[in-house]
A and B are shown apart, each in its own frame.
Chain A
Amino acid sequence: MHPAASIIFFTTLSGLGYGLAGALGLGVLAPGLMSTLMAYGLALALIGAGLLSSTLHLGNPQRAWRAFSQWRSSWLSREGVLAVIGFPVIAAHGWLTFSSGERWPLLGLAAAVLAAATVYCTAMIYASLRSVQAWNTWLTPACYLAFAVAGGGLLALLFLAWQGALRGPAVLAVAALVFCAWGLKMAWWRRMDSEPHLSTTASATGLGKIGRVTLFEPPHMTSNYLTREMGFQVARKHASKLRKIALVLGCGLPFLLAIMSGGSGAIAVLLAALAVVAFYAGVVTERWLFFAEARHAVTSYYGQ
């Protein structure tokens, strides 16, 4: 599948934003502080940037409002509806906790649940497609949710460090979440590498019962929408290198930096910020691979 920059930034930024919104909803940061209010602002900015980015790949973005109508059947529509509901809930929780100095736990829980549900819908847009076998597994929403939670946890660490409230247990919990996310991702990769193709040239043409089928002549000499959009597959050797890069950036570095940030002061803030940056770079690499490595069934008609 073609790894479109707009979709990579949409899924990674909104994942990070919803992760932070979830952590805030669960009351990880102390209420009533300006820095906590800024954390809400950052979460909403990340979510908003992601959603805006997602409209960049539309052929007719002026009609995007129509996408809220088909929530009964479409995961993409459900995601849009939940994003629109979640935004004011997260904003309201942020403002109320800031202005009153109290936690508003029920509203916070609602914000966290909406954040998780939105990330789940985003993942299900991909996981529901049988035509892309690598995505068509429960591991896809599990990975999206785990990356959102781990990213939100790392951002929460950054704000805790800034507030001078960073403690050992929080660091260890977030480190565990980061490991958990990448563990799920490794299971996802292992499944993709080991499962035989669901659809092949034999089943796509129905000629497999007669004998061995190979593409003799494609229907067109140059590329078309299908080959550009669905035909993209990164070479295996690069994929394995990029997976290692993603693991080092997204798992190893944030873990080390988070552990080192256990102290206090400017150094702790800097290390926590670097942990977030490294994690995000790792997740962007992972998300690029998520698209670039996935094989679409239609490539069976194009000799792949």
Chain B
Amino acid sequence: MTMLPSVAPPKKLGLVIDLDVCVGCHACVVSCKEWNTGGYGAALSDQNPYGADVSGTFLNRIHTFELVPEGGEVVGEAGDSRIVHFPKSCLHCDDAPCVTVCPTGASYKRTADGIVLVDEEKCIGCGLCAWSCPYGARELDLAAGVMKKCTLCVDRIYNETLEEVDRVPSCVRTCPANARHFGDFADPSSNVSIMVAERGGIDLMPEQGTRPVNKYLPPRPRQQLDRVIPLAENSSGAAGFFAWLDGVLDRI
């Protein structure tokens, strides 16, 4: 059934991704591929995996952007420009266009928790859902001929055979920097709701009208390192013992 749920799901499960914290290590990319190639649905295939033109299906990818603040200068390492690593996976949108365009009913949004999934038994691999997604969250698996997307590790989060600490999406569990957080956005007191409120979490491409569930926390303003740590060569501000030592060392 490819109509969106008529009433808002009681739970809105999703991710918060902290762009201030992500170090761009790609551990979540690897861990996502590893878990999901053996989990829900068809394996995530690779084409020409040991050749020069390798490509494959991934549900989570890290882009890296350069950000030059308003009025900032790009002067090598001393300039104002900064690097922002940008993890991107399905945002499990409230108004998911990928769900309503599906001609077969394979693409659907769960009424219980809002997770957007693909029923691979029904998918004909027409690719229209991938076209409709502005975020590029869906990739057609070339070996299986069906659409693959982030399942929010639906086979982990409710899996009681796992330790409780592991009942979160693989990317969240594996992130060594704690840049990814999993929770219920319908609950205003949840960890993710509080983080979004405190840090001003944002929607990606709000102009597309998709109302994404996943939120991104923007990077905090950058500290000016040269104002915090005096340069090693400069002793003009030294006082007391260090001023005396500075004078002695100058004289010998």
CB within 8 Å of B: which residues of A? Answer: 1, 57-61, 63-64, 66-70, 72-77, 80, 125, 128-132, 198-199, 201, 203-207, 209-220, 222-226, 229-230, 296-298, 300-302
Contacts and interface: CB of A to CB of B under 8 A. Distances in A.
Interface string B116-136: 000000111111101111111
Contacts of B101: 73-76, 125, 128-129
Contact of A59 (B69, B70, B125, B205): B125
A216 B62 contact: no
Residue in B54, B67, B70 whose Cβ sees the most chain A Cβ within 10 Å = B67
Interface of B: 1-3, 19, 29, 53-58, 61-70, 72, 83-84, 86, 88, 97, 99-106, 122-128, 130-136, 139-142, 144-147, 202-209, 216, 218-219
A95 B101 CA distance: 36
Contacts of B140: 59, 225, 229
A66 B122 contact: yes
B135 A60 contact: no
Is chain A's binding surface mostly helix, strand, loop or mixed?
mixed
Given A59-B144, A74-B2, A199-B208, A131 B134 contact: yes
Nearest to B208: A130
Nearest to A64: B124
A207 B132 CA distance: 23
B134 A213 contact: no
Contacts of A68: 103
Nearest to A71: B103
Given A59-B124, A125-B128, A296-B131, 4 more contacts: A205-B65, A211-B69, A219-B29, A225-B142
A58 B145 CA distance: 8
Contacts of A128: 101
Given A67-B124, A211-B69, A224-B58, A301 B88 contact: yes
